[in-house]
């Protein structure tokens, strides 16, 4: 398995764990342990709203630039196409 695939798998596994907790995504992002990673989500797998859709799971294409996933801090820069900056 390529290193980027392993990182993505670890990020997705952590997201599943977070989904089971009662902590909100904004609280997690604020504590510095997680960050929003734009441009790496698969179609229909985004964590929250985008500029073009109103809720999670509604991104329309792979790698949609305004769709994001919550990933462990520091891992977004390692993902191909990943950025922590929202597109303008």
Report pLDDT digits (tens) over 67-84.
Answer: 999 999 999 999 999 999
Answer yes or no: is pLDDT of 35 > 90: yes
Residue 52 pLDDT more than 70? yes
Mean pLDDT value of segment 18-44: 69
| DSSP SS3 for 38 | strand
Q: Does residue 64 surpass a pLDDT of 70?
A: yes
pLDDT class of 21 with cuts at 50, 70, 90: very low
- pTM for the whole structure: 0.59
List the domain boundaries for the chain: 3-78
Helices in 21-78 by DSSP H: which ranges? 25-30
pLDDT at 4: 62
Most confident of 3-7, 35-39, 49-53: 35-39
């Amino acid at each position: 398995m390529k290193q980027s695939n392993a990182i993505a798998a670890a990020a997705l596994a952590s997201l599943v764990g977070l989904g089971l907790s009662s902590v909100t995504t904004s609280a997690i992002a604020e504590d510095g342990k997680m960050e929003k990673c734009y441009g790496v989500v698969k179609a229909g797998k985004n964590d929250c709203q985008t500029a073009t859709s109103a809720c999670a799971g509604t991104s329309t294409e792979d790698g949609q630039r305004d769709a994001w996933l919550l990933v462990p801090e520091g891992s977004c820069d390692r993902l191909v196409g990943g950025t922590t900056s929202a597109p303008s």
